[in-house]
């Protein structure tokens, strides 16, 4: 028997009937509490789970709309009974959902299709599909019905569309990885957050922002600077418009990662903004001395502003905060607060355990209930806000079996394996990608071998791992090394590790937005490819084999899986030989080089390749380098 | 001499109760588990911190079942310090087969009542606690008091050694002078132990933490009290302990202790938590009487007696029941005899603002006789950071000096770094609530090579520090 007491499926208690989804029209059940049934094994099938990510209420409060991230659906529930009304198919990997002000239309951003599904809430049918920017991640409509704002994660902007036709009017530059938006209650402003840090000088604190858009004029009116933050998720604004709250990660990537205690790797914080805090930003921690609120994601504020709630995906909890106590604390004490792990005792009421990877929330019944979407166990926790307890749990219809991939994904997103539950894989690999940061890991020596975090999509065939190529395979990378130098705590058993590795190797490459339809190359990309493949430089001199781009960055993923010295060694590096990184979706993953010292692709050659050891590039003009970049972006 | 592990079969339990528990209140249910408790004619609180005998007139473990107590190991001359394995199947304890024996570590199987001599030591080995992965931590009597030690418990679960320099087997976990004695193994895998504050030269009982490979030693909290001891982690994660005569707790959200409003009395600490949430406490009311076992529901004002004996102190109760296994700690020690210590901002301290700018950091070490020697000094950067290489496994103390060499601040006590340890300090006595700023310390921008302060100094007066430091 494997992992007794750890793996559980949720089934109805005695007296209730377990309803099985037999058709695409799925059925939900209410259960008093999930009853644990031990799973003795996992199946190797590739099963599709709903994976609820966000929840909305219909205008008349009679229905809930549950955005299902993996099954590409919006599931509609009866809010009184929790029973299924309908499942509406949308695009691929839906991530954001919003209701029009009059409640007649539901907008869903399909992040991998680059589309928006417009659902008629009367017929519960998709009425239109609109094309938008790269990886749309959230959407809101302004109060007048004129504009639709769409945050695009890959193009780092907010597209302004006609709310009636979907025609794009313009793009507003936002933070890197623009992903989540909150509309002020009066409809005047839209607050936009982003999940990857904005560019900042090498080995300095990360910088992020909340981009503030005037919803009537559709212009950016402010950029609220978030110093030291990398990874900002949902924001919320109180009903009186005076308090804004954003959930965020405060990494410690510049300090050697020698141990985890005392917030050694990450702190999980909220950024307060607005009139209630003097129109400044105030960062407050969610963590405690020995417990963390790992990966805060969503924020919900009660209509009376008495409490706010924060989901923490890694810790699998909802933190309840007394807003009056919070404001009193920040108004009567001197900032900064973030270094004080005892600060949260002044405003945190309690922490409520919920399901796996809790994400979006919905406050209903005028603040009496809080619904929490637990993405990785397909449940919705219904919390009684008077008692701060989970009163019931809605189980979405989902496969009855737990697949290897699903278990691996649960392992990836939880923080339970790390010391005091501080971090999980998803802390640095946000949504199974990367974090845009450089880290100083302990075993190489303090201040030595600074390493850039790499994308983990499409990993098969890119081993070895680590920048020094020291780990031959993922079980080594994610097993003993992670246990000893990241989690600082007992790691997975062998089977869980195998499941985690299987999940990671299953991560597909997201669609490349720089490729033309049919995988044709543009003229600039063709010119860049020629440079990439060339054997002779511009002066007719042969380029040695090892000095051609295509030699090391060979094969379908752009790596020959070997290490080379390309002249990028810094004084702090223990060796000059580095693993050849894959080029998959390289356009997304700045900064570059092993230590993240190149802010852009261009800097790889213009700043860090003076002797042409990293390919023959010093004969190239600015335009030719641009062509090379254009080609690399298609990889 | 260590390593002998014999097996002795316990012939039978005696069926004759030695003590009769008083009739409990008729309307109150008993604890739904057997209890093991140490009964001693005399129990001396905190004797372990003076290196003295806690049970000077002997002790016996009792099994309490359905309100009746009987000796757990009747053929032993003495037994104490029961610790139940995580699955509830066996008990490790300190015992003496014959009256003249030192306290030794034994294990009793609760399934077949077989006995196993876990560890043979020349001196007393007491208060054994199970660690995950087949190890045990205990207090070993030395000429200077008890010392925190670790060893295999005979049930190794992993072949991974805790320390690459020593491999599996015995490992010393504490390296300062004075007594260090285990209290509990926390769920996060660290060992909670009691010693005197300031560590290595103090007189006030206090609780400290260390990883099971001896690294990462630190005070549990830095609101130091006058007599904190006998800590035990409850299911909530709080650590409940004795402070003075009363009970107090440390809880994750707070940097300071919280007094527990328990009925008046002198508490012996080491509470056990019943499945009902009630606490089984050892208390004497009034002072001078013997300690008895009482069941108390936190938040209430009354307790009921679970077990009492007019001639015996009843202390250190444990429940015979499965419990959650703490997290195994994977040691990341390097195979070095030195350690690297990086301070991010030495100016930060709970002790207040420095009255000058620190220019250098001075490292002192102690020799085997407790003599303090200056190992050298290293520069402190403008941002307060310094990076030094220090000798492993020795008592160390740090002082901040100004440009003239005057001491601006000195550590209250002593600490150690394990050989192969790489440690970061946020400041100097900043407290566990203080997390680090996220910035590259200036010293690492200047050099990534620590200033080596590891050379063994000659015992000359020029390097010797006056007792107590300056």
Q: pLDDT tens for residues A567-607?
A: 999 999 999 999 999 999 999 999 999 999 999 999 999 99
Indicate if the pLDDT at residue A113 is higher than 50. yes
Using alpha carbons, select from A39, A44, A43 the residue that is nearest to residue A1.
A39
Which residues 420-459 of B have a C-beta within 8 angstroms of A?
Answer: 422-424, 426, 432-441, 444-445, 448, 450
At A338 the pLDDT is 96
* DSSP H/E element including A523: helix A523-533
B265 and B381 part of one domain: no
Q: Is A493 on the interface with B (CB under 8 A)?
A: no
Q: pLDDT tens for residues B414-430?
A: 999 999 999 999 999 89
Percentage of chain B with pLDDT > 90? 80
Q: Which chain B residue has its CA at the smallest distance from A287's CA?
A: B253
DSSP B108-156: EETTT-EEEEEE--SS-EEEEEEETTTEEEEEEEETTEEEEEEEE-S--
Domain range for B226 is 34-320
Is B222 a domain residue? yes
pLDDT category of residue B86 using cuts at 50, 70 and 90: very high
Indicate if the pLDDT at residue B24 is higher than 80. no
Is B463 a domain residue? no
Indicate if the pLDDT at residue B384 is higher than 50. yes
Is B263 a domain residue? yes
Q: Nearest by CB to A252, which of B327, B438, B444?
A: B438
Q: pLDDT tens for residues A345-358?
A: 999 999 999 999 99
Tell the residue number behind the tokens 């005197």, with chain if given. B196
Can you tell me the mean pLDDT for A387-415? 96
- CB neighbours of B362 closer than 8 A, spacing ≥ 6? B374, B376, B377, B398, B399, B400, B401, B407
pLDDT category of residue A161 using cuts at 50, 70 and 90: very high
Q: Which residues in chain A have their CB less than 8 angstroms from residue B331's CB?
A: 484
At B30 the pLDDT is 65
Q: Report the distance separating Cα B139 and Cα B181, nearest Å.
A: 5
At B157 the pLDDT is 59
B315 and B422 part of one domain: no
Q: Nearest by CB to B255, which of A263, A342, A348?
A: A342
DSSP A279-328: TS-EEEE---SS----SEEEEEE-TTSSEEEEEETTTTEEEEEEHHHHHH
* DSSP H/E element including A629: helix A622-632
CATH number, domain of B368, equals: 2.60.40.1120
Q: Nearest by CB to B253, which of A254, A345, A490?
A: A345
Indicate if the pLDDT at residue A80 is higher than 80. yes
At B19 the pLDDT is 41
In the sheet that holds A168-173, the strands lie side by side as A136-141, A147-152, A157-162, A168-173
pLDDT category of residue A11 using cuts at 50, 70 and 90: very low
User: For residue A288, what are the CA distances in angstroms to A44, A327, B252, B265?
Assistant: 39, 19, 6, 32
B197 and B225 part of one domain: yes
Phi, psi of A546 (to 5 degrees): -75, -5
Indicate if the pLDDT at residue B163 is higher than 80. no
**Minimal C-alpha gap between A280 and chain B (Å):** 20
Q: Is B310 on the interface with A (CB under 8 A)?
A: no
Indicate if the pLDDT at residue B3 is higher than 70. no
Q: Nearest by CB to B438, which of A253, A344, A488?
A: A253
Report domain extents, chain A.
127-405, 523-632
Neighbours of B86 (CB within 10 A): 14
CB distance B373 to B465 below 8 Å? yes
A194-208, A469-483, B158-172: the lowest-pLDDT one: B158-172
B272 and B347 part of one domain: no
Q: pLDDT tens for residues B32-42?
A: 899 999 999 99
Indicate if the pLDDT at residue A176 is higher than 80. yes
Indicate if the pLDDT at residue B458 is higher than 80. no
Q: pLDDT tens for residues A281-314?
A: 999 999 999 999 999 999 999 999 999 999 999 9
In the sheet that holds B60-65, the strands lie side by side as B19-20, B68-71, B60-65, B34-40, B313-320
Size (chain A), residues:
635
Q: pLDDT tens for residues A142-154?
A: 999 999 999 999 9
A131-135, A246-250, A356-360: the lowest-pLDDT one: A131-135
In the sheet that holds B422-425, the strands lie side by side as B422-425, B338-343, B386-391, B451-452
Indicate if the pLDDT at residue B297 is higher than 50. yes
To probe the interface with B, which of A488, A497, A569, A571 has the most B CB atoms within 10 Å? A488
Q: Is B157 on the interface with A (CB under 8 A)?
A: no
Superfamily of structural domain A127-405:
YVTN repeat-like/Quinoprotein amine dehydrogenase (2.130.10.10)
Q: Report the distance separating Cα A629 and Cα A621, nearest Å.
A: 12
Using alpha carbons, select from B19, B23, B25 the residue that is nearest to residue B38.
B19
At A14 the pLDDT is 32
At A333 the pLDDT is 96
Q: Which residues in chain B have their CB less than 8 angstroms from residue A338's CB?
A: 435
At A44 the pLDDT is 81
Can you tell me the mean pLDDT for B374-399? 97
At A491 the pLDDT is 87
B299 and B163 part of one domain: yes
Using alpha carbons, select from A298, A142, A309, A306 the residue that is nearest to residue A235.
A298
Superfamily of structural domain A523-632:
Cytochrome c-like domain (1.10.760.10)
Indicate if the pLDDT at residue B285 is higher than 90. no
Q: Cβ of A342 and B254 within 8 Å?
A: yes
Can you tell me the mean pLDDT for B147-173? 70
Q: Cβ of B448 and A251 within 8 Å?
A: no
B91 and B124 part of one domain: yes
Indicate if the pLDDT at residue A168 is higher than 90. yes
Q: pLDDT tens for residues B97-156?
A: 999 999 999 999 999 999 999 988 999 999 999 999 889 999 999 999 999 999 988 776
Q: Cβ of B387 and A446 within 8 Å?
A: yes
Q: pLDDT tens for residues B308-325?
A: 999 999 999 999 999 999
Indicate if the pLDDT at residue B20 is higher than 70. no
**DSSP SS3 for A259:** coil
Is B277 a domain residue? yes
Q: Cβ of A447 and B444 within 8 Å?
A: yes
Query: ipTM for the complex?
Result: 0.90
Indicate if the pLDDT at residue B10 is higher than 80. no
At B67 the pLDDT is 86
B132 and B93 part of one domain: yes
Mean pLDDT of chain A: 92
Neighbours of B427 (CB within 10 A): 18
Q: Which chain B residue has its CA at the smallest distance from A230's CA?
A: B438
Which residues 545-584 of A have a C-beta within 8 angstroms of B?
Answer: 572
Domain count, chain B: 2
Q: Report the distance separating Cα A394 and Cα A382, nearest Å.
A: 7
pLDDT category of residue B170 using cuts at 50, 70 and 90: confident
At A430 the pLDDT is 97
Indicate if the pLDDT at residue B351 is higher than 60. yes
Indicate if the pLDDT at residue A517 is higher than 90. no
B102 and B225 part of one domain: yes
Q: Cβ of B424 and A258 within 8 Å?
A: yes
Which residues 426-455 of A have a C-beta within 8 angstroms of B?
Answer: 440, 442-443, 445-448
Q: Nearest by CB to B188, which of A264, A290, A448?
A: A290
A150-159, A252-261, B161-170: the lowest-pLDDT one: B161-170
Q: Cβ of B435 and A262 within 8 Å?
A: yes
B107 and B225 part of one domain: yes
pLDDT category of residue A366 using cuts at 50, 70 and 90: confident
B274 and B392 part of one domain: no
Percentage of chain A with pLDDT > 70? 94
In the sheet that holds B218-219, the strands lie side by side as B181-185, B191-197, B204-210, B218-219
Can you tell me the mean pLDDT for B154-163? 58
Q: Which chain B residue has its CA at the smallest distance from A351's CA?
A: B253
**Minimal C-alpha gap between A629 and chain B (Å):** 31
Q: Report the distance separating Cα B459 and Cα B369, nearest Å.
A: 11
Is B273 a domain residue? yes
Strands A63-68, A73-78: pairing is antiparallel
Q: Cβ of B188 and A420 within 8 Å?
A: yes
CATH number, domain of B300, equals: 2.120.10.30
B359 and B416 part of one domain: yes
Q: Which residues in chain B have their CB less than 8 angstroms from residue A5's CB?
A: none
Q: Which chain A residue has its CA at the smallest distance from B326's CA?
A: A490
B268 and B191 part of one domain: yes
To probe the interface with B, which of A262, A288, A348, A596 has the most B CB atoms within 10 Å? A262
CB pairs under 8 A between A and B: 129
Q: Is A263 on the interface with B (CB under 8 A)?
A: yes
- Can the peptide bond before residue B183 be classed as cis, meaning omega within 30 degrees of 0? no
A149 - beta bridge partners?
Answer: A140, A160
Running DSSP on this structure, what letter comes out for residue B220?
Answer: S
Q: Cβ of B327 and A489 within 8 Å?
A: yes
Q: Is B324 on the interface with A (CB under 8 A)?
A: no
Is B441 a domain residue? yes
To probe the interface with A, which of B163, B444, B446, B451 has the most A CB atoms within 10 Å? B444
Indicate if the pLDDT at residue B21 is higher than 50. no
At A12 the pLDDT is 31
């Amino acid at each position: 028997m494997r992992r007794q007491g750890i793996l559980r499926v949720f089934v109805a208690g005695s007296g209730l009937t377990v309803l099985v989804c037999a058709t695409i029209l799925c059925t939900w059940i209410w259960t008093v509490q999930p009853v644990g049934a031990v799973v003795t094994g996992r199946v190797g099938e590739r099963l599709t789970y709903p994976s609820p990510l966000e929840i909305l209420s219909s205008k008349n409060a009679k229905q809930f709309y549950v955005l299902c991230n993996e099954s590409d659906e919006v599931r509609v529930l009866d809010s009184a009974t929790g029973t299924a009304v309908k499942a509406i198919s949308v695009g691929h990997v839906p991530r954001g959902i919003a209701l029009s002000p009059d409640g007649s239309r539901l907008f869903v951003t399909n992040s991998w299709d680059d589309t928006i599904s417009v659902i008629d809430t009367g017929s519960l049918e998709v009425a239109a599909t609109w094309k938008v920017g790269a990886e749309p991640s959230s959407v809101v409509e302004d109060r007048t019905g004129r504009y639709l704002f769409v945050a695009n994660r890959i193009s780092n902007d907010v597209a302004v569309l006609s709310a009636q036709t979907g025609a794009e009017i313009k793009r507003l530059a936002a933070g890197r990885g623009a992903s989540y938006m909150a509309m002020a209650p009066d409809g005047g402003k839209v607050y936009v957050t982003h999940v990857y840090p904005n560019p900042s000088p090498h080995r300095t604190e990360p910088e992020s922002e909340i981009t503030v858009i005037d919803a009537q004029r559709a212009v950016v009116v402010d950029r609220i600077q978030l110093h030291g933050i990398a990874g900002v998720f949902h924001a919320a604004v109180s009903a009186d418009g005076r308090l804004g709250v954003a959930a965020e990660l405060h990494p410690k990537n510049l300090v050697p990662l020698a141990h985890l205690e005392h917030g050694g790797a990450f702190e999980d914080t909220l950024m307060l903004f607005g009139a209630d805090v003097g129109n400044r930003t105030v960062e407050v921690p969610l963590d405690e001395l020995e417990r963390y609120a790992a990966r805060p994601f969503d924020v919900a504020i009660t209509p009376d502003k008495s409490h706010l709630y924060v989901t923490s995906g890694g810790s699998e909890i909802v933190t309840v905060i007394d807003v009056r106590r919070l404001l009193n604390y920040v108004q009567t004490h001197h900032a900064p607060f973030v270094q004080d792990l005892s600060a949260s005792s002044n405003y945190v009421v309690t922490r409520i355990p919920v399901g796996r990877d809790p994400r979006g929330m919905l406050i209903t019944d005028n603040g009496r209930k809080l619904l929490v979407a637990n993405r990785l166990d397909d449940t919705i926790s219904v919390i009684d806000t008077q008692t701060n307890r989970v009163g019931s749990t809605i189980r979405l219809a989902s496969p009855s079996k737990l697949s290897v991939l699903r278990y691996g994904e649960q392992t990836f997103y939880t923080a339970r394996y790390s010391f005091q539950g501080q971090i999980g894989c998803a802390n640095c690999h946000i949504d199974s990608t990367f974090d845009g940061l450089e880290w100083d890991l302990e075993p190489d020596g303090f201040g030595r071998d600074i390493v850039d975090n790499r994308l983990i999509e499409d990993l098969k065939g890119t081993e070895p791992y680590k920048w020094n190529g020291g780990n031959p395979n993922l079980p080594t990378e994610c097993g003993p090394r992670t246990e000893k130098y990241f989690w600082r705590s007992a790691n997975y058993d062998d089977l869980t590790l195998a499941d985690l590795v299987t999940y990671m190797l299953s991560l597909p490459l997201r669609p490349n937005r720089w490729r033309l339809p049919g995988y044709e190359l543009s003229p600039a990309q063709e010119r860049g490819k020629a440079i990439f493949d060339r054997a002779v430089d511009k002066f007719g001199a042969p380029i040695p084999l090892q000095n051609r781009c295509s030699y090391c960055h060979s094969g379908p993923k752009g790596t020959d899986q070997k290490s080379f010295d390309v002249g990028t060694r810094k004084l702090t590096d223990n060796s000059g030989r580095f693993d050849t990184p894959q080029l998959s979706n390289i356009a997304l993953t700045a900064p570059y080089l092993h230590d993240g010292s190149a802010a852009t692709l261009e800097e790889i050659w213009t700043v860090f390749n003076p002797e042409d050891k990293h390919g023959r590039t010093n004969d190239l003009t600015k335009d030719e380098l641009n062509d090379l970049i254009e080609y690399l972006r298609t990889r | 001499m260590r390593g002998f592990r014999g097996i002795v079969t316990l012939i039978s339990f005696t069926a004759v109760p030695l003590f009769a528990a008083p009739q409990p209140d008729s309307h109150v249910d008993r604890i739904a588990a057997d209890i093991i408790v140490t009964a001693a004619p005399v129990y001396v609180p905190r004797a372990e911190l003076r290196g003295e005998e806690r049970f000077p007139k002997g002790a016996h473990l009792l099994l309490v079942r359905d309100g009746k107590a009987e000796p757990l190991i009747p053929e032993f001359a003495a037994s104490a310090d029961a610790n139940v394995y995580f699955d509830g199947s066996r008990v490790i304890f300190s015992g003496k087969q014959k009256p003249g024996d030192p306290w030794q570590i034994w294990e009793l199987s609760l399934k077949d009542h077989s006995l196993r001599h876990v560890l043979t030591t020349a001196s007393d080995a007491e208060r054994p606690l199970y660690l995950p992965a087949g190890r045990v931590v205990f207090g070993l009597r030395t000429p200077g008091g008890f010392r925190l030690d670790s060893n295999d418990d005979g049930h190794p679960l992993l072949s991974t050694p805790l320390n690459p320099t020593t491999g599996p087997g015995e490992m010393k976990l504490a390296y300062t002078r004075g007594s260090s004695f285990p209290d509990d193994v926390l769920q996060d895998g660290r060992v909670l132990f009691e010693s005197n504050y300031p560590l290595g030269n103090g007189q006030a009982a206090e609780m400290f933490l260390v990883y099971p490979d001896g690294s990462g030693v630190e005070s549990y909290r830095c609101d130091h009290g006058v007599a904190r001891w006998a800590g035990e982690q409850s299911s909530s994660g709080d650590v409940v302990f004795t402070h003075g005569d009363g009970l107090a707790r440390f809880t994750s959200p707070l940097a300071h202790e919280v007094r527990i409003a328990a009925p008046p009395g002198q508490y012996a600490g080491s509470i056990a938590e019943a499945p009902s949430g009630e606490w089984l406490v050892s208390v004497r009311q009034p002072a001078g009487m013997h300690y008895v076992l009482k069941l108390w529901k936190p938040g209430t004002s009354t307790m009921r007696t679970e077990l009492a004996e007019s001639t015996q102190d009843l202390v250190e109760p444990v429940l015979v029941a499965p419990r959650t296994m703490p997290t195994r700690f994977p040691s990341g020690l390097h195979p070095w005899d030195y350690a690297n210590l990086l301070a991010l901002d030495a100016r930060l301290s709970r002790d207040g603002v420095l009255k000058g700018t620190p220019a250098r950091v001075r490292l002192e070490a102690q020799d085997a006789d407790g003599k303090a020697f200056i190992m050298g000094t290293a520069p402190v950067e403008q941002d307060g950071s310094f990076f030094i290489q220090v000798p492993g496994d020795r008592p160390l103390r740090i002082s901040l000096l100004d440009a003239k060499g005057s001491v601006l601040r000195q550590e209250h006590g002593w600490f150690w770094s394990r050989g192969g340890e790489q440690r970061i300090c946020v400041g100097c006595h900043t407290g566990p609530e203080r997390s680090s700023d996220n910035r590259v310390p200036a010293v690492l921008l200047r050099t990534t090579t620590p200033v080596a302060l590891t050379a063994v100094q000659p015992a000359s007066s020029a390097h010797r520090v006056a007792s107590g430091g300056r």
